[in-house]
Amino acid sequence: MGRLEGRRVVLGVCGGIAAYKAVEVCRRLVDAGALVSPVMTAGATRFVGEVTFSALASERVRTSLWDDDDPIPHTRLGQAADVVVVVPATARVIGAYAAGISSDLLTATLLATRAPVVLCPAMHTEMWEHPAVQENMATLRRRGVHVVEPAVGRLAGGDVGSGRLADPADIVAAVERAVAPQDLAGVRLLVTAGGTREPIDAVRVITNRSSGKQGYALAEEAAARGADVVIVSTVERPVSSVIDVVKVETTAEMQDAVLARSDVSDVVIMAAAVADFRPKAPADRKIKKDEGPPEVILETTHDFLVDLGRAKRPGQVLVGFAAETDDVLANAAAKLRLKRLDLIVANDVSAEGVGFEHDTNRVTLLGGDGSEQDVPLSHKRDVARAVLDAIVRLRRSTT
């Protein structure tokens, strides 16, 4: 079950040209399982029709304090909300919210809720940079409001500058962070993802079927729970802007990237499928077909996870993955001991719907303390949640 499954989200839409992007935010929230209650300002209805949000959301749009049978709709909305997100947040609404002025249903709801609030500003550069707007934003940040910073890019009228609404995927990720337990706040977490690629020649490689989905799910879930996340990856996948991505290709490149950052990481999760073998003498040019198939002599790669285990400092948590096809738990337990891990995530990649390339996974978590936890076939984000729950328990047991 996703972080937003069953959560009540009040989606406020203000009168700016970026209101059309709130339609995509609404769709993504609903797809994530949220119950979306849309509230539009009068200005927003000039940019996007009410019926659009009523059709996509979980209930009809509300636009006024006075058009509902409920005499206090703002109070009902505010009390029922698990989170309120405003997309786009205009200078007017930001100013009214900061000053405590409830001039319409949306601003009244903002003042009537104790749920987390996520503001997504969007306006022209001159407006965004105006001292009054910046002072209002500073006030709201001090009060604990979550802010999804506007991007730099093309604006209405053809100008280019700061003030462009953030990407809808980043907005939904911010909503997830707002409702997530912040049990990893301030934790520096490093995770690897994807399968390494070892060159045969200038164009051909030996690799594996890892898609990186589990590693990215771990990165997103950790970021949602407050961690400062770095992902060292061999694959290109969409990722929240708060996550630092380091691109690598080979095992040696991944080793260098991980070892350079492991000393300052509180948690290291080796979710990548790192090659066990590589061509001993790769050609520096493309081998032509008419030359015949090349003779590829393999050599063993260095298992740098062993190095991480030997160098692990007190309080640091080290997690490995064991993708196996037979004797899964026995092989995983051996790796756990050999590499001095705190936790290993074992899965049978020969099973249907499990592991490589799938959106789902079924794993067993083996702890260095002898603990064992089965995670049934679940979406990889749910598996990531179980892994991070175990990491949180490990960290608490050592403090």
Please tell me whether residue 200 adopts helix, strand or coil conformation. Answer: coil
Retrieve residue 330's tokens. Answer: 């026995």
Please tell me whether residue 226 adopts helix, strand or coil conformation. Answer: coil
- Count other C-beta atoms under 10 Å from residue 117's C-beta: 24
Q: How far apart are CA 92 and CA 387, in angstroms?
A: 43
Distance between the two ends of the chain, CA-based, in angstroms?
Answer: 30
Spatial contact of 179 and 116, defined as CB atoms under 8 Å apart: yes
* Residue type, position 314, single letter: P
H or E stretch at 383: helix 380-397
Spatial contact of 380 and 214, defined as CB atoms under 8 Å apart: yes
H or E stretch at 99: helix 91-99
The half-sphere exposure of 326 on its side-chain side, counting CA atoms within 13 A, is 0
- Count other C-beta atoms under 10 Å from residue 42's C-beta: 13
* Residue type, position 331, single letter: N
* Residue type, position 370, single letter: G
Q: Which member of 136, 208, 331, 361 is catalytic?
A: 208
208 belongs to the catalytic site: yes
Can you spell out the DSSP letters for 24-80?
HHHHHHHHTT-EEEEEE-TTGGGTS-HHHHHHHSSS--B--SSSSSSS-HHHHHHHH
**Which residues does residue 365 pair with via DSSP β-bridges, in sequence order?**
345, 373
Spatial contact of 147 and 119, defined as CB atoms under 8 Å apart: yes
Retrieve residue 299's tokens. Answer: 């050599």
Retrieve residue 371's tokens. Answer: 């603990």
Residues with a known catalytic role? 208
